[in-house]
Amino acid sequence: DIQLTQSPSSLSASVGDRVTITCRASHSINVFLNWYQQKPGEAPALLIYSSSSLSSGVPPRFSGSGSGTGFTLTISSLQPEDFATYYCQQTFSTPTFGPGTRVDI
C-alpha cells in the first residue's frame, strides 16, 4: 500500500491566517490526491480532488497543489468555520488516507 504522511499533525492558528498543510506519499501518485475536511461529529467533506481541483461549493480560499510525492493544501485566510481536521487521500492505487491534520485556535 502507498503510505501518506501529513505535517503538521496539528496546528493552532487565528482567523485570517494563511495555513499550509503538507501531504507526502511513499511512492509517486501523479496527481491522484484528494483533500477532505472533517468537523467533529460530522462526515468528511471533499474539498480538493486531483491535487488542485476545487470541489463544488468549496470557497476559493482553499487551494491545492503538487504532484508525484509532495502535495499541499492552503487556506489563504482562515475563517471560523475552517477549524477542523484535514485528511489527504491517494487514489493512485488501493486508496489510503493520511493521518490527518487538526487545525484549531
Partner 1 sequence: QVHLVQSGADVKKPGASVKVSCKASGHTSPAFGISWVRQAPGQGLEWMGWIGTYSDKINFAQKFQGRLTMTIDTSTTTAYMELRSLRSDDTAVYYCARGRAVAERYTMDVWGQGTTVSVSS
The Cα 46–Cα 55 span in angstroms is 6
Q: What number of helices (H) and strands (E) belong to the chain?
A: 0, 11
Q: Does 49 bind partner 1 (CB under 8 A)?
A: yes
Amino acid identity, position 43: A
Interface residue with partner 1 among 46, 67, 69, 83 (CB under 8 A) is: 46
Cβ–Cβ under 8 Å, residues 71 and 65: yes
Instruction: Tell me how far, at minimum, the Cβ of 15 lies from partner 1, in Å.
Output: 26
DSSP helix/strand/coil, 81: helix
CA–CA dist 19, 33 (Å, integer): 19
Point out which residues pair with 5 in neighbouring strands: 24
Q: Which of residues 58-77 bind partner 1 (CB under 8 A)?
A: none
Binding part of the chain for partner 1, among 16-24, 65-73, 75-83, 87-95 by CB under 8 A, reads 87-95
Q: Which is nearer to partner 1, 29 or 75 (CB)?
A: 29
13 binds partner 1 (CB under 8 A): no
Say whether residue 51 binds partner 1 (CB under 8 A).
Answer: no
Contact set with partner 1 (CB under 8 A): 1, 34, 36, 38, 43-46, 49-50, 55-56, 87, 89, 91, 94-100
